[in-house]
A and B are shown apart, each in its own frame.
Chain A
Amino acid sequence: MTAQDPELPSARKLLTTTLVALVVALVLLVAFVLPAEYGIDPLHTGATLGLKALSAPVPKAEPPPAGATMYKPVIEGPVSQYAAAYKTDVVELKLGPYEYLEYKYRLEKDANMVFSWAASGDVSHDFHGEPDVKGMGEQSYDKKPRREGFGAFRAPFAGIHGWFWENPGGETITIRLHSSGFYESATEFRSDRTRRAHELKSVKD
């Protein structure tokens, strides 16, 4: 042993240091770890510091209300709940001289849709619906002269709902339609009795 060897701590000093470390660890455990990890908060430090939220159980996701489908809503106050995402549709339609066409969506009763359309010229127009139930007549919702329309619609009955547009003159007219809604299908009916189904996109696509 030389004169420059470092002085080792005494046993008493070691014991004291170890006890202090144990007390600090115990305080940290009780004050912070138990509230955050297990929700045990004997000193109320977890509540004070907002640590209990970390140990709170994750809320369980509620399923759609019984009876709701992707097309048929369950109405809960101001909200209509569906079982799946809505669809969207963007379409450009050409109307030749004196031609007419109808463009309609299939909607269940109380199903919702928003729409926006604009024509490049004057058109006759009738926003109306045809019920699934035979014997119930068509219902017209809006026949005012328009070159554009913007609105929100709730189907008063299950059926096909949409627009009749007629070109009253000799120039070709273009109609652009944008819509979103809980509809099943979209069909274009032409004045030569042809029908064409249009593909709709889900917002989840």
Chain B
Amino acid sequence: MMTRRQQLLAFLPLGVLPLVGHEDFRVVGVVTKVTAKTVDVKKKDGKVVAIEWNKQTIFTRDKTVVPSSALKVGLTVVVDATGDSEDELLAENIRIVPAVK
């Protein structure tokens, strides 16, 4: 069941979401592992970044909010996260996108 925040966001185009600033991290890559609290993403340079997620994390695909169960190994994702370094990130948004060629 979607939270109220997710229901509200389902009706918003992604362009309305605040643009990230240079204080956030963005990780783009392929999902290699998913757990109840983390997702491992392999970047184009081969580095795997483990990112935490929680109930406040918003999952989207094609500009639509989807449940966290949509996150699967092998999918390409764009993760916007906060944290002091790439080793301790908390995802705010996880966007499932077409695979990068």
Residues of A near any B CB (own CB < 8 A): 96-100, 102, 124, 126, 138, 164, 166, 170-171, 189-193, 195
Q: Which of A99, A124, A138 contacts B26 (CB 8 A)?
A: A99
Interface pair A96/B44, CB less than 8 Å apart:
yes
Chain A residues near B99 (CB, 8 Å)?
Answer: 170
Partner-binding segment picked from B17-25, B51-59, B67-75:
B17-25
- Most B-side CB within 10 Å, residue of A126, A164, A166, A192: A192
| A-B residue pairs in contact (CB < 8 Å), sample of 17 | A96-B28, A98-B26, A98-B97, A98-B100, A99-B28, A124-B19, A138-B21, A164-B19, A164-B21, A166-B19, A170-B99, A170-B101, A190-B22, A192-B26, A193-B22, A193-B23, A193-B24
Q: Which residue of A lies closest to B43 (CB)?
A: A192
Is B13 an interface residue when CB atoms closer than 8 A count as contact?
no
Q: Is residue B78 contacting chain A, with contact meaning CB distance below 8 A?
A: yes
Of all A-B residue pairs in the complex, the 3 with the closest CB atoms, nearest first, are A189-B22, A191-B26, A97-B100
Verify if B98 is at the interface (C-beta below 8 Å from A). yes
| Contacting residues, chain B, for A102 (C-beta < 8 A) | 21-22
Other-chain contact of A100, B15, B26, B97 (Cβ < 8 Å):
B26
- B26 CB, nearest partner CB in chain A, Å: 4
* Chain B proximity of A167: nearest CB distance (Å): 10
Q: Which of B15, B19, B20, B98 contacts A170 (CB 8 A)?
A: B98
Number of chain B residues close to chain A: CB under 8 A? 19
B75 CB to nearest A CB, Å: 13
Residues of A contacting B23 in the complex (Cβ-Cβ under 8 angstroms)? 193
B residues less than 8 Å from A100 (CB atoms): 19-20, 26
Query: In the complex, A138→B23 CA distance in Å?
Result: 13
Residue on B nearest A170 in the bound complex, by CB: B100
Check if B92 is an interface residue, CB within 8 A of chain A.
no
> How far apart sit A124 and B14, CA to CA, in the bound complex (Å)?
11
Having A99-B28, A124-B15, A193-B24, one finds 9 other A-B pairs with CB under 8 Å, namely: A98-B97, A99-B26, A170-B99, A170-B100, A170-B101, A189-B22, A191-B25, A192-B86, A193-B23
Q: Which of B19, B22, B24 has the most chain A CB atoms closer than 10 A to its own CB?
A: B22
With a cutoff of 8 Å between Cβ atoms, the chain B residues found around residue A124 in the complex are 15, 19
Contacts of A190 in B (CB 8 A): 22
